[in-house]
A and B are shown apart, each in its own frame.
Chain A
Amino acid sequence: MMELRRRVAYRSDFWINFFGQTFFSLIIAYYLWSSIFKTTGKTEMNGFTMQSMIFYYLVAPLVFRIQQGLGIGFISRDIYEGSLNKYLLYPVEFFKFKLSTYLATSFFFATQLFVILGVYQIFFYDENIFQFHLLNIIFFLLALLGSTLIYFYLSVIFESLAFWYDNVWSVGVVLRFATSFLGGALIPLTFFPIGVQSLLNMTPFPYLIHFPVAVLTKGLPATELLSSFGIMIFWICIFYAVAKLVWNKGSYSYSGVGI
């Protein structure tokens, strides 16, 4: 909640940036895909019509933004600037503290997504693409939470590298690039060659962006939902364990610069 207040208080240009971003990414997606649909002469490609494609590009970047929470540097900055000491003195567990501010930020970005969905529902209502269905929304929220946790612990692992290497900002950027491409934010995963798709399914990436958006738009069958959530929990546990391990190793070698 503090995180929310902080963001609102210091970022009056926050909404301007948000609308600007959404606007440009939609423009680019719209022209790119209408050009592709026109040249190929098809009305449907790999499960997408022009309309549902636009909706995809409306939602996918926002879903990805939600997962990124506090953004690159949310731990590494504390480490190399030495402000980690401050947190270590607080009577709270560092991990829990970071996780809660991270989720609070994610929650804030989620409100943006729901503003967009509301606007879409009112002005461009198309029952083939998206409709407010309570069950879908609940599963979507669960998928969002799960994917955010995966990305959080994955980031913790990379951010903790700052214990050994001063500045790991660029590593965070690499993770972001890779995820946005392999998770489906740049182009829907159904467009990838079949072989690549089944390879990707063995990684956590499709569960980050592709899966939550599919839950929201298509309302997947129960069996698939169940197995997907199972795999998500599996990844969360794996990354949680690795993150703990790396963190513990790192904090031993932590020198507490700049005390």
Chain B
Amino acid sequence: MIKVEGLNKTFKVHKKEPGLAGSAKALFKRNYIVKNALEDINLNLDEGEIIGLLGANGAGKTTLIKILSGIIHSSSGNVNIMGHNPWDRHNDYRKSMSVIMGQKAQLWWDLPPMDGFLLLKEIYQIHHKDFYESIEHLSEILNVKEQLNIQVRKLSLGERMKVELIAALLHKPKIIFLDEPTIGLDISAQKTVRKFIKEYRKEYNPTMILTSHYMDDIEELCPRIAILRAGQKVFDGDLSNLHNQYAKNKLLKAHVKNEEDLQKLSTQFPSELGTIELAKNEISISSPRAKVMDAARYLLNNADIIDLNIKEEEISNIVEKIMMKSGDKVE
């Protein structure tokens, strides 16, 4: 369905020196810095599959989505989506996919969503009956029937995102790119959007690529994730595998009865058993899997412990670590 091989994207940034002299110089000679936005990306998606794309700001998520949707060119590498090269911008391809950018609206600001939908009906040449059925159905699930005839600028942020979702799905795309669909929304609106995407997937089974800052989105929607760091793909696989592969540490939490023990532990805890952090009368230790038992034993022997807890590391912490870690690339 989607096949990406050895994809690279570099672009030049024009560096201007400040002040009049800088501007004058820039007229004749410009200094460019070459930036690698994406480096050797490989990605395969089957029909109906969904993948969550994670990465820090500037890691290349949006760039990748823009390339796959044909908005920008890659510098080298192959992309094949249903037999199309996206940046040929073939009408067949453009009719079968959809992009939703949480930061950019496609509907007309001064007009009610319904007007925008009618325009999209023309653009995608949607059949009359299908069109009204889709609107009926989608606005029902998203609970925005009332809002369809109110100017977009008067809608709340959450309502706006919902009508944007409808706009993007009217032509029943086979491939959907979602770039930060929940950005800026409050928790309950985030939940509605997630629930909607889930239900929509059950019904139509589109292939989807989703990027998000919110781990909740990903955990709930995407069994498979890919992580980008500085333009490189550093993880691609099942979310559940992430623990086995990357959670090298487990988390120990203990309540300590008295202050003296707490102080003693913080200074004397052997570093080969893990790293220790203090908070009030609680300590937490991140300890390598193999040393967890030793660490627990050390605690029990050397302090007056009221309560002890051993946990897997939070998934968001693992992801964050992978996203931020610089240097070695993990296959």
Are A and B close enough to touch in the complex, i.e. CB under 8 Å?
yes
**Chain A positions near chain B (C-beta within 8 angstroms):** 5, 8-9, 11-12, 16
B290 at the interface (CB under 8 A from A): no
- Decide if A9 touches B18 in the complex (CB within 8 Å): yes
CA distance A33 to B211 in the complex (A): 64
Interface membership of chain B positions 14-28, coded 1 if the CB is closer than 8 angstroms to chain A and 0 otherwise: 001011100110110
Classify the interface of chain A: helix, strand, loop or mixed.
helix
In the complex, the answer to whether B26 meets A12 with C-beta atoms within 8 Å is: yes
User: How far apart are A101's CB and chain B's nearest CB, in angstroms?
Assistant: 18
B residues 279-326 touching A (CB-CB < 8 Å)? none
Report A-chain residues with C-beta under 8 Å of the C-beta of B26.
Answer: 12
Which residue of chain A has the shortest Cβ distance to B20 in the bound complex? A8
How far is the CB of A160 from the nearest CB of chain B, in Å? 26
Chain A residues near B18 (CB, 8 Å)?
9
* CB < 8 Å neighbour of B27 from A5, A8, A12: A12
Give A247 to B26 CA distance when docked, in angstroms: 43
Given contacts A9-B19, A11-B23, 11 further A-B contacts (CB under 8 A): A5-B19, A8-B23, A9-B18, A9-B20, A9-B23, A12-B16, A12-B23, A12-B24, A12-B26, A12-B27, A16-B27
Q: Tell me the smallest distance from the CB of A9 to a CB of chain B, in Å.
A: 7
**A167, B27: Cα distance in complex, Å:** 36
Chain B neighbourhood of A9, CB < 8 A: 18-20, 23
B193 → A minimal CB distance (Å):
27
CB distance from B32 to the nearest CB of A (A): 16
Cα separation A204 to B23 with both chains bound (whole Å): 39
Q: When chains A and B are docked, how far (Å) is the Cα of A5 from the Cα of B19?
A: 7
- Residues of chain B contacted by A8 (CB below 8 angstroms): 19-20, 23
Within 8 A of A (CB), among B1-60: 16, 18-20, 23-24, 26-27
- B24 proximity list for chain A (CB < 8 A): 12
> CA A9 – CA B26 in complex, angstroms?
11
Q: How far is the CB of B98 from chain A (nearest CB, A)?
A: 32
Measured CB to CB, the nearest residue on chain B to A13 is B27
Q: How far does the alpha carbon of A139 sit from the alpha carbon of B19 in the complex, in Å? A: 33
Chain A residue with the shortest CB-CB distance to B18:
A9
Q: Would you give 15 A-B contacts (Cβ < 8 Å), ordered by A?
A: A5-B19, A8-B19, A8-B20, A8-B23, A9-B18, A9-B19, A9-B20, A9-B23, A11-B23, A12-B16, A12-B23, A12-B24, A12-B26, A12-B27, A16-B27
Within the assembled complex, what's the spacing in Å between the Cα atoms of A9 and B16?
A: 10
Chain A contacts for B27, CB-based, 8 A: 12, 16
- A5, B24: Cα distance in complex, Å: 14
Report B21 CB to chain A, min CB distance, Å.
Answer: 10
Quick one: closest A residue to B16, CB to CB? A12
Shortest CB-to-CB span from B279 to chain A, Å, is 41
Contacts of A11 in B (CB 8 A): 23
Q: B23 — nearest CB in chain A belongs to which residue?
A: A12
Which A residues are CB-close (under 8 A) to B20?
A: 8-9
Which among A5, A9, A11 has the highest number of chain B CB atoms within 10 Å?
Answer: A9
